[in-house]
Amino acid sequence: MADTYDLLVLGSGPGGYVAAIRGAQLGLKTGIVERELLGGICLNWGCIPTKALLRSAEVLHMMQHAQDYGLKVAGEIEADLDAVVKRSRGVAKQLNQGVTHLMKKNGIAVHMGSGRLTAPGRLTVTSEKGEEELQARHIILATGARARDLPFAPADGKRVWNYRHAMTPPTMPDRLLVIGSGAIGIEFASFYNDMGADVTVVEMLDRIVPVEDAEVSSFLEQSLTKQGIRILTSAGVEALKVSDDGVTAAIKSKDGKTADETFSHVIVAVGIVANTHDIGIDQLVELERGFIQIDPYGRTQTEGLWAIGDCTPGPWLAHKASHEGVTAAEAIAQDLGKGGNPHPMNRRNIPACTYCHPQIASVGLTEAAAKEAGHQVKIGKFPFIGNGKAIALGEAQGFVKTVFDAATGELLGAHMIGAEVTELIQGYTIGKTLETTEAELMETVFPHPTLSEMMHESVLSAYGRALHI
C-alpha cells in the first residue's frame, strides 16, 4: 500500500528541503524524494563548494599581496590544488550532513531514489532496492536544473568541463577558456586566474555579466583585465576540437573573423536546462523552453501539483528557490486548513550575487531597465575610494550605485561592485521589500567605520547631498 502524505517534495535542493521543513513546521505530514544527495546541486556541487574554492583563492591572493599590508611571508607562496578541492568537498559534506539532521529533526520521511509522477498525487520512487509507490494530497516539484552542453562539444570531464567538473579538477589548467560570462563562468574565471591559470573569457553579448548594470559590467571588465584575464566580448566559439593534449577553439571575434586558439581546458558556462524530463509531467504542466510555468505561489495548472526553483522561470538562484519553497508550503497549508500565510513572489526584490574578485551584488532594476520602464530616474553613486573602511581594508576599488524614481523617491534598484558587497546588498533588499523611499534611507543611521556607509552616501548622492565626495 502506498505511503500517503499531505506534502511530498521531489528534489532536496535549497528549494525542496526548505519547502519540506516549512511544511512539517505547519503540521503537514511531509516526505521528500532525492535521487543523489540531500541538499541538491547547490549545497553539494554549486553555491557552497564554489564559495569554499573562491575563499581559498582569496586567501592566496591576500598572501601574494602581504607586503601591501606591511607583512612579510617567508618562503614561496603556492597553491595545493588537491588540498583546496579537498577542503571544498569537506565543506559540502558537512552541510549535507546538516540537511540530513534537519530532516530527522522535523520528522520528514526521506525516500532516496529517482521519482516519477504516475498520476496527479502519485509518485513512484525507483532505487537499487526496487520501486516504491507514494501518494500525496500535494506534490512540489523541486527538480532543479543542469548545465547546458555545447551541441558540438559536450562536457566530458577531461578537457571540456561543466561547473561540476571544474570543482574537482584532475589537474590544474595551464591555459583555460571559459565560454560564457554569467555568474558561474566569471566565478570560475576569477578562481582559476588567482590559482595561476592563463584565463580567456568569451562572451557572445557586448559585455560581461550582461544581466548586471552596464557600469558594473564595464568596471568588472577593467578589473579582471588588470588581473590578467583576457576578455573577448561580442565573440563566440564556433567549434571545439578536443585531443588528449588540449582543445583547439575556433573563436569568432567581434570583427567577424574566426581564428583557432589552443587551450589546455575549457569550461562551458552557457546556461542551464531544467530537469523536467522523465519525471512524468507530460500533459500535467505547462512548459516554456523546458521550464514549468507557475503562479506567484508556485501552483501549476494541475490541482495539487506545485513547482519551485530552477525548474521554473528565473532568476535561477538558490535563495529564490528557498523563498518559493516557503511560499508554496504556506499556500498548501492554507489550502488544507492548517494555517499558513502565503505571500506572492516579487521577482524584482530578489538580490543577485557573484563571488568573483571584486564581488558583484544587485537588486531591482538597472538604470537602463528603469528608463525603459518609463521611469524618470535619479542616480546616485559612491566610490569605495571615498570610504575609510575600504581604504583601511586595502579594498578601495569599486562603487555603490542606486536608482530612484524621481517623482516618488521609490528605490528602484541598487548595484554594487567591490569587497563584501554580497553581504551589503541585503540592506537595499529589505528597503525594497518595505517599499522605502529615499527619505527613510537618508534618515537611517549607518555605523562608522563600515563599508555600509557607502550605501548611505550613494542615496545622498542621488539627491546632490553626498558628504564625502
| Residue 381 predicted with pLDDT over 70 | yes
The CATH 3.30.390.30 portion of the chain extends over 358-462
CATH classification number, 358-462, choose in 3.30.390.30, 3.40.50.720, 3.60.21.10, 3.40.50.2000: 3.30.390.30
Q: Sheet containing 236-242: which strands, arranged edge to edge?
A: 236-242, 247-252, 258-263
Mean pLDDT of 440-461: 98
Residue-level pLDDT at 39: 92
Mean pLDDT of 207-220: 98
Of the pLDDT bands very low, low, confident and very high (cuts 50, 70, 90), residue 238 is very high
Give the C-alpha separation, 39 to 10, whole Å: 12
User: How many CB atoms lie under 10 A from the CB of residue 428?
Assistant: 27
Q: Of the ranges 75-79, 91-95, 411-415, which one carries the lowest mean pLDDT score?
A: 75-79
Above pLDDT 70, what percent of the chain?
Answer: 100
Q: Which residue has the higher pLDDT, 215 or 42?
A: 215
Q: 411 pairs with which residues across the strands?
A: 404
Of the pLDDT bands very low, low, confident and very high (cuts 50, 70, 90), residue 283 is confident
Apex CA 332: angle with CA 327 and CA 338, to 5°?
110
Active site residues: 448
C-alpha cell recorded at residue 298: 508556485
Mean pLDDT of 58-83: 92
| Residue 1 predicted with pLDDT over 60 | no
Give the C-alpha separation, 296 to 342, whole Å: 10
Calculate Rg over the CA atoms of the chain. Answer: 24
Of the pLDDT bands very low, low, confident and very high (cuts 50, 70, 90), residue 44 is confident
User: How many CB atoms lie under 10 A from the CB of residue 226?
Assistant: 9
Residue 342's φ and ψ, nearest 5 degrees, are -70, 150
| Residue 3 predicted with pLDDT over 80 | no
Residue-level pLDDT at 461: 98
**Residues 380 and 357: beta-carbon distance below 8 Å:** no
Give the C-alpha separation, 219 to 223, whole Å: 6
Residue-level pLDDT at 41: 84
Mean pLDDT of 91-112: 96
| Residue 314 predicted with pLDDT over 60 | yes
| Residue 22 predicted with pLDDT over 80 | yes
Give the C-alpha separation, 380 to 401, whole Å: 6
| Residue 436 predicted with pLDDT over 70 | yes
The CATH class for the domain spanning 160-270 reads alpha beta
Residues 319-335 as b/e (b if ≥16 CB within 10 A, e otherwise) read bbbbbbbbbbbbbbbeb
Span 270-281, pLDDT tens digits: 999 999 999 999
Place of cell 544527495: 37
3-147+273-335 fold: FAD/NAD(P)-binding domain (3.50.50)
Of the pLDDT bands very low, low, confident and very high (cuts 50, 70, 90), residue 42 is confident
Mean pLDDT of 172-189: 97
Sign for the CA dihedral angle at 431, 437, 442, 445 comes to: negative
| Residue 2 predicted with pLDDT over 80 | no
Sign for the CA dihedral angle at 384, 385, 390, 394 comes to: positive
The CATH 3.50.50.60 portion of the chain extends over 3-147+273-335, 160-270
Mean pLDDT of 310-333: 97
Q: Which residue has the higher pLDDT, 69 or 170?
A: 69
Q: For all residues of the chain together, what is the average pLDDT?
A: 95
